Chains A and B, each alone.
Chain A
Amino acid sequence: MDSTVVSTGTEDKTWGGGNNPLRASYGKLMMWFFIVSDALTFSAFLAAYGFSRFKFVNEWPIADEVFTHVPFLHGQELPMIYVAFMTFILIMSSVTMVLAVDAGHHMNKAKVTIYMFLTIIGGIVFVGSQAWEWSTFINGDYGAVQTKAGNILQFGEYVNDEEGEEVFKRIAIEDFAVTVAGDRVAHERNNGIWFTDEAALPPFSVDEIYTGLAANDNILVRTQILNEEGHKTVLSRAESLRQIEENGKLVVKGANLKVNEYGTTLFADMFFFITGFHGFHVTMGIILNIIIFFNVVLGTYERRGSYEMVEKVGLYWHFVDLVWVFVFTFFYLV
């Protein structure tokens, strides 16, 4: 046996191997390595968001004007409410996860099962909310005109609110645009070159917007430039007409990777990219949680004598929550 099992004579020495200086298992350490590197990826994205924002620091969209919707409360402007709800859901599912880990330490299979199940439900509610948030953002609400330089011109009028203060109230483009005859129709396969077609045309042309604007004396144009008080600049009536006539290029409604009715396109790009990458992580976390959940139900960890797998997937799940805390701050608060 001496020829196959080599004894180095260093087993009891510090560098002899078999030592656990960090007192953590291999799997847990590897999960930590992954989390630290993933944290660097996410911080690179958020730092890139900061870069774009600093580049356009005096014209960045105001998040409170963009994310104002809450499901079932149509037409009301309630910034922050829904995203606060989403944050709470994710923190709550973090809590059920950590309770599952705690129950695992006590080898309590029934409780681990229940808490894992609740964690999965929380994750699904969060991803669903994010999908709703995306769809609202993509559909947009008021519409705007994009200029030749890619700037956004929005419409609205001055009205008095309940306290009698003069506020700028946004007006949707379909409420004042005048349909002009002889407008260009979308090129389809059946009425043009058969092998090409094009994407749907914008709902209105700039001409129609201009005609509508000229017909309504109360409507003013708002640029994306922030003034001293941090509000967007509202142009005078003459300047409004001039901007649309001379610089208006494209009518946009909603946001995608090319245009964004709320302001600079980079805002939409960053929003889709970062919340999308985070949502992808949450989705992966849900799938991992489901796998672990079934292993718990089947008694795999009961037989193994340790619920450490729950703890490892828990680390990942908390990390996803941690990232959301930062996304929440930098996209919705700051």
Chain B
Amino acid sequence: MAQEHKLEIFRGLVKFKSNKDKIWGVLIFLSIVTAIEVVLGIYKPDILMEIWMDPFEGGGFFATVGNIILSPIVYMKPLNFIFIVLTIVKAYYITWDFMHVRDETGSLRKMIVWTAVFLISYLVFILLQEGGYVFNAYNGADSLITHDF
């Protein structure tokens, strides 16, 4: 039953003596991340509430590709972007250390992670794109639908 655990996190920056220490270390890290999220969520600093960069105008090929590549910056408030990044960080440590994915073979790890990542990205892209389209159908300048009455 002697299962060996990989005991370092942050790419070897922090190395724990035992698996138990690692669990508590990860708990502290997750708590700090959650605390940052909560504090940012309560105070909502003004500088993070406005979009830093306007999307490229024109609708040409390069403008469209540029907007797609920079979509987290041009379409999202920095605060929301920070929240999503911190969430993914938390998800990483929950799966890697609590669910022991760090100790699994590389092929199992890739099977789990890439399947989910590709399918979820696809799903999110489709649905958000469609949601934006419906928004324009309701609120566009030539829209024939209104729900403002």
Q: How far is the CA of A151 from the CA of B148 in the complex (A)?
A: 7
Whether A95 and B27, one on each chain, are in contact in the complex, defined by CB atoms closer than 8 angstroms, is yes
Which residues of A sit under 8 angstroms from B84, Cβ to Cβ?
A: 329, 334
| Residue from A39, A80, A105 within 8 A of B116 (CB atoms) | A39
A121 within 8 A of B: no
Whether B41 and A48, one on each chain, are in contact in the complex, defined by CB atoms closer than 8 angstroms, is no
Which residues of A sit under 8 angstroms from B107, Cβ to Cβ?
A: 21-22
Q: How far is the CA of A92 from the CA of B20 in the complex (A)?
A: 14
Restricting to B9-24, which residues have a CB under 8 Å from any CB of A? 19-20, 23-24
Which residues of B sit under 8 angstroms from A306, Cβ to Cβ?
A: 1
Q: How large is the interface on A (under 10, 10 to 19, 20 to 34, 35 or more residues)?
A: 35 or more
Whether B49 and A332, one on each chain, are in contact in the complex, defined by CB atoms closer than 8 angstroms, is no
B62 within 8 A of A: no
Given known pairs A107-B1, A151-B148, the reply for A325 and B87 (CB within 8 Å) is: yes
Which residues of A sit under 8 angstroms from B49, Cβ to Cβ?
A: 230
Restricting to A48-95, which residues have a CB under 8 Å from any CB of B? 48, 50-58, 64, 79-81, 84, 87-88, 91-92, 94-95
A102 within 8 A of B: yes
Q: How far is the CA of A65 from the CA of B95 in the complex (A)?
A: 32
Q: How large is the interface on B (under 10, 10 to 19, 20 to 34, 35 or more residues)?
A: 35 or more
Question: Which of B53-61, B64-72, B123-131 forms contacts with chain A?
Answer: B123-131
Which residues of A sit under 8 angstroms from B134, Cβ to Cβ?
A: 51, 54-55
Q: How far is the CA of A63 from the CA of B63 in the complex (A)?
A: 33
Which residues of B sit under 8 angstroms from A79, Cβ to Cβ?
A: 41-42
Whether B123 and A47, one on each chain, are in contact in the complex, defined by CB atoms closer than 8 angstroms, is yes
Residues of chain B touching chain A, judged by Cβ–Cβ distance below 8 Å, are 1, 3, 19-20, 23-24, 27, 30-31, 34-35, 37-38, 40-42, 49, 80, 83-84, 86-87, 90-91, 94-95, 97-100, 104-105, 107-108, 111-112, 115-116, 119-120, 123-124, 126-128, 130-132, 134-135, 138-139, 146-149
* 13 pairs of residues in contact across A and B, judged by CB atoms under 8 Å: A23-B105, A40-B116, A44-B123, A47-B124, A51-B127, A54-B131, A58-B135, A84-B35, A95-B98, A151-B148, A325-B91, A329-B84, A333-B83
